Chain A
């Protein structure tokens, strides 16, 4: 098999007048697993879009096997390059197998039907992603995590030489997260595939990626091995938080811990936040700014909410990265919840790893639930979370988004005072 090369040749991208990417220049060859990290709006997704021909760079070229992707036909690119998006909406009643078989589209002639050969490739991809047993199920009956694994299987069915991932594991449970990342890592070596992934979680990148690109305001701030890129100094400059970077005793990989930055002011009321995936970063800042005594838990170390809470010096009940909530932490969290005057549950996906947080929330004196989308859409526990959630909801105050929380808190507090 001829080795694949990808060169991003000094590209710049613009939306209207604003530069989103500038001076991006790097190259990759088969077997590379490159992680792209950076805060929100640093240009990570734009970078993926310009590689996959969705967005034409203002200047510079993207060369796939030395050919400019923007002069290639989409089908030509699709034979070599697959993309796993953050989220996929497939509402029609295609079966999972039919969706995976769509990955063969670039390889088939216009009137050619899928052959046994295509089916074999599809089955293999589905077995790799552990979804073959879902083959006959209509795609719209699958859970978010199952759907995402089907989409990854579809990408593999394209038999790509380059795989682009846009926060591919955001909707997955910890076990599937690890399973998929292990698989992608293995394939990148076995099939000499270039993998470029955008990730939020710095601990994931340090574990899986060979090379990292740290984006800051549309430019490459640092690039290279995890040890060179994920330094305390770099992270503080780019993310604006102080962290300590340690080597994990067992794996030798880096672990990133935010440091305490300032003392909490004298507080009015105790507020406990149940969050995850960065859903409460601005909320916690707002609460602290307004003088509340805020705590957070249970949260996995390395989560953006964890990073933010550390920076704010909150009381945190923390769990190791990728681990389900342990009994001890559950108890600790319960204690904080019981002490808190108010408990806020943000709009987080609930899996088996964090369902204990829902259970604990039941002990809250005053529960405020931020609900942007119905629980059914973010339930990865086959209904268990939904049941718990609805019980909680019956005795809780509901807000549409986290901006409404502060007003609700204030009005609830004044209500308490008048009594």
Chain B
């Protein structure tokens, strides 16, 4: 009996190790796929030049153009895909746990509409303050502002009732959506750019975008992981959690702040990619169980893997035209999710 239970921890480590390996493989494999035909072997060699110890063993046999395509176009986009996918999956898992609501997703606090408003304002008014980074920065600022407002609307005497938070988030989303709709209605020829941004995607992203999103996503994810066990206990209710020694109000603030940061960072560089944050957590809950100590890291890894493959399809399926990756994530993820729901006998929430 005890052995069985303690073996669980070993299984968790195995799961994380496997998923990490798959993620590594995913990055390498998807780098070989693309519109420009570069032999996979060459791609691998170019990648390996960036690895320490073995890089001097490789004899260059490629053009500078190929290096640029691999290292400056494909790789940053893939790394960003990993970051965004992981961020959305972690944020979704956390929000569903904290709100005890299967419908919760990373955007539930009005982050998406805040970010969208920022991006659309930039597009419609042709703002150009930080060059090509104006859109992500504006999106981040407006998302942060939306969360700040929702948070303050919902807090009552220093406490943060989750139901109020949920409703405040919905109210904020509705309000901002109205403004967004108005802007789109009057956008004229700029409408295409808006729609493309709203659907989300990773096209044309470079290392600067990665560097912009990385610190927030990395720190936020670490912070949430630190509180994994506390999130488990929160599932039994706030008052019982407090009786088990959780500082409930502090925890909620830390968690909301972390989720907001990583989601805002993800949205600002990739637009609103749906589905990943809602469904990856559910899939992982079915596969590895409800314990956040394994659920969070495995969701992060699978979120990254899933988004990178989805994006690879998005950029190759009708190349050279790109499809917004949100279309791919839902098109392939939803049927799989439905399959899991149907084959599973017990309810998951």
Contacts and interface: CB of A to CB of B under 8 A. Distances in A.
B236 A99 contact: yes
Nearest to B230: A105
A9 B291 CA distance: 40
B161 interface: no
Nearest to B3: A116
Contacts of B237: 88-90
Contacts of A158: 244
A410 B188 CA distance: 65
A102 B245 contact: no
Residues of A in contact with B, size category: 35 or more
A116 B6 contact: yes
Contacts of A54: 239, 242
B233 interface: yes
A78 interface: yes
B246 interface: yes
Contacts of B246: 74-75, 105
Given A52-B243, A79-B245, A105-B246, A90 B236 contact: yes
Contacts of A138: 346
Contacts of B236: 88-90, 99, 102
A100 B126 CA distance: 58
B240 A83 contact: yes
A113 B240 contact: no
Contacts of B348: 93
Interface string B220-257: 00000010010011011101101111111000000000
Contacts of A81: 243
Contact of B2 (A85, A92, A116): A116
Interface string A122-163: 010000000000010010110000000000000000100000
Contacts of A105: 229, 233, 244-246
A74 B2 contact: no
B233 A102 contact: yes
Contacts of A53: 242
Secondary structure type dominating chain B contacts: loop
B347 A140 contact: yes
Contacts of A262: none
A93 B290 contact: yes
B289 interface: yes
Nearest to A73: B247
Contacts of B233: 102, 105
Given A93-B346, A116-B2, A119-B5, A88 B240 contact: yes
A77 B349 contact: no
A53 B243 CA distance: 9
Interface residues of B, number: 29
A50 to B, nearest CB: 13
Interface in A344-400: none
B1 A135 contact: yes
Interface string A40-54: 000000000000111
A83 B229 CA distance: 20
A119 B347 contact: no
A137 to B, nearest CB: 11
A94 interface: yes
B229 A98 contact: no
A88 B236 CA distance: 7
Contact of B290 (A75, A92, A110): A92
A106 interface: yes
A54 B247 CA distance: 11
A334 interface: no
B100 interface: yes
B9 A113 contact: yes
A83 B291 CA distance: 23
A240 B286 CA distance: 54
A83 B245 contact: no
Contact of B349 (A73, A74, A78, A92): A92
Contacts of B349: 91-92
A82 interface: yes
Nearest to A108: B229
A97 interface: yes
A348 B310 CA distance: 53
B235 A90 contact: yes
B291 A85 contact: no
Contacts of A108: 229
Nearest to B251: A74
Contacts of A114: 5
A103 B1 CA distance: 19
Nearest to A116: B2
A102 B289 CA distance: 16
A77 B245 contact: yes
Given A91-B100, A93-B290, A99-B236, A78 B346 contact: no
Nearest to B232: A102
B243 A83 contact: yes
A78 B245 contact: yes
Given A116-B6, A135-B1, A103 B290 contact: no
Nearest to B290: A92
Nearest to A83: B243
A94 B244 contact: no
Nearest to A87: B237
B290 A94 contact: yes
Which among B226, B242, B244 has the highest number of chain A CB atoms within 10 Å? B244
B291 A74 contact: no
Interface in A321-357: none
A93 B290 CA distance: 7
Interface string B305-349: 000000000000000000000000000000000000000001111
A75 to B, nearest CB: 4
A419 to B, nearest CB: 47
B229 to A, nearest CB: 7
Nearest to B100: A91
B22 to A, nearest CB: 24
A78 B240 CA distance: 10
B301 to A, nearest CB: 19
A99 B235 CA distance: 10
Given A78-B244, A93-B346, A114-B5, 7 more contacts: A73-B247, A74-B247, A79-B245, A88-B236, A90-B236, A123-B1, A140-B347
9 contacts: A75-B245, A76-B245, A77-B245, A78-B243, A90-B236, A93-B346, A94-B232, A135-B1, A140-B346
The 8 closest A-B pairs by CB, nearest first: A78-B245, A106-B245, A75-B245, A83-B243, A92-B290, A105-B244, A74-B245, A92-B235
